[in-house]
Amino acid sequence: MDIDREEIAQKSLALHLKHQGKLAVHSKVPVQTREDLSLAYTPGVAHVCRYIAEDEKRAFSCTLKRNTIAIITDGTAVLGLGNIGPTAAIPVMEGKAILFKEFAGIDAFPICITGDHDDLISHIRSIAPVFGGINLEDIAAPRCFEIEEELQNLGIPVMHDDQHGAAIAVLAALINACKVTGKKFRELTVVVSGAGAAGYAICRLLKCIGYEGQTCTAVKELIVCDREGIIYRGRQGLYHNIYKYLLGDETNRMLRTGTLSDALRGADVFVGVSTGNLVTADMIRLMNPDPIVLALANPTPEIMPDEARAGGAAVIGTGRSDFPNQVNNVLVFPGVFRGALDAGATKISEEMKIAAAHAIASYVKEPTPEKILPDPLDRGVAKVVAEAVAEMAKKCGCVR
């Protein structure tokens, strides 16, 4: 399916101008009579306030908090547009809010704010009482890592979707790609291009960095590349970025050096979360037989599917909807937050993320090279993900 991107761009602009945005607030209760007014507002609502004041957890049972997510951005890493600021980010956050509603029945609202690291932390903490969860979105690395880490004590789930949504979707894709190719997950050598938010989280999940116990299965070897080439322990300048330093310390045990092309030699999997047109068919030919290629840069993948196929790729995924195997976060975040809210989770644990990945993979009963993930528009995915996440939240004690 070919998409005329200019046509889509103009139609999208027309839609936004026509409706003046995509999101609105609708009342759940009538306000037609004096009694309606007394029940919904004063004087009746005062009793509800006193009821909550006695125990703040009661807000989850009688206010919007039970089913409302804040989608928070500072506009520093919006789609492929970069740092366009919080006001220009509103259409993306509105779009995500309607996806929450459509796929998981969650009320979500865009909160687009400015400020430095401390300002953002303070702002988010100050508005948290009204929300049941926080979805961090389109915040540039490394700030996004620091903010997410510092907010884990809010008592409600906080997840940076650009990191963990991408990592969960990639893990689900690899689980099924291994079924198709006959490769064993524990024996995979994986090359990741991109060490930003998505790349960092994907690497942590595939190598179980920071994951405890037996819940996480690590691939055999992981090599990460950034703009300067392969990341390895001791690479000059790496200590300036604590997150890349961690990747250098925990991956690439053979201390390989060189370019992305050097990294791909003898690899089983390529995961691209970087920029378009970095990889050629000849580079794919350097990989082991039947390689798995997930070229997720948007709108232009690191390598187009036809070229990857010409290089011998057995399974190919992209981030685009006009090719098979779209690796899309919409498979992840609605169900993860639905499950977290339903369970009364206080956080989204590592175990919950892994449960989500396996639920997504299992949804595809018979994976094929053209079908390793569910259709992103399949409404049933969020339901099974939510059930798996809620069950795991209770098992790992991450509930109120």
| CATH 3.40.50.10380 domain position(s) in the chain | 63-156
Contact 333, 165 (CB under 8 A): yes
**What integer pLDDT is reported at residue 174 of this predicted model?**
98
Instruction: Find tokens 């991956």 and name the residue.
Output: 251
Superfamily name and number for 63-156: Malic enzyme, N-terminal domain (3.40.50.10380)
The H-assigned helical ranges of 41-115 are: 44-54, 59-62, 90-104
**What integer pLDDT is reported at residue 96 of this predicted model?**
96
Contact 371, 325 (CB under 8 A): yes
What CA dihedral angle connects 206, 209, 210 and 211, to 10 degrees? 40
**What integer pLDDT is reported at residue 13 of this predicted model?**
93
DSSP assigned state of 66:
G
Contact 341, 66 (CB under 8 A): yes
359/385 Cα distance (integer angstroms)? 5
Question: Would you tell me how many other CB atoms lie within 10 Å of the CB of residue 172?
Answer: 26
Contact 367, 327 (CB under 8 A): no
Reduced to 3 states (helix: H, G, I; strand: E, B; else coil), residue 354 is helix
Is 161-400 in CATH node 3.40.50.720?
yes
Question: Which residue(s) pair with 136 in the sheet?
Answer: 72, 160
DSSP for 168-228? HHHHHHHHHHHHHH---GGG-EEEEE--SHHHHHHHHHHTTTT--TTS----SEEEEEETT
Residue positions annotated with a catalytic role: 41, 96
Question: Which residue(s) pair with 229 in the sheet?
Answer: 226
**Which positions ≥6 away from 184 have C-beta within 8 Å?**
178
Q: Directed axis angle between helix 143-150 and helix 197-206, to 10°?
A: 60
| pLDDT-flagged residues of the chain (< 70) | 1-3, 213
106/139 Cα distance (integer angstroms)? 22
Question: Considering just the CA atoms, what is the radius of gyration of the chain in Å?
Answer: 22
| CATH 3.40.50.720 domain position(s) in the chain | 161-400
Q: The whole model's pTM is what?
A: 0.94
119/142 Cα distance (integer angstroms)? 16
Per-residue b or e along 325-353, where b marks 16 or more CB atoms closer than 10 Å to that residue's CB = bbbbbbbbbbbbbbbbbbbbbbbbbbbbb
Reduced to 3 states (helix: H, G, I; strand: E, B; else coil), residue 335 is helix
SS in 3 state form for 102-170?
Answer: HHHCCEEEEEECCCCHHHHHHHHHHHHHHCCEEEECCCCCCHHHHHHHHCCCCCCCEEEHHHHHHHHHH
Any long-range contacts for 252-256 (C-beta under 8 Å, 24+ apart)?
252/221, 252/222, 252/223, 252/224, 253/221, 254/221, 256/223, 256/230, 256/232
**What confidence tens digit (pLDDT) does each residue in 134-143 have?**
999 999 988 9
Question: Which residue(s) pair with 160 in the sheet?
Answer: 136
DSSP assigned state of 96:
H
**What integer pLDDT is reported at residue 299 of this predicted model?**
85
Instruction: Find tokens 């399974």 and name the residue.
Output: 315
What CA dihedral angle connects 52, 53, 57 and 63, to 10 degrees? 30
Helix (H) or strand (E) holding 317: strand 315-318
Closest by alpha carbon to 348, among 51, 134, 188, 150?
134
**What integer pLDDT is reported at residue 3 of this predicted model?**
61
Question: Which residue(s) pair with 78 in the sheet?
Answer: 82
**What integer pLDDT is reported at residue 141 of this predicted model?**
87
31/170 Cα distance (integer angstroms)? 47
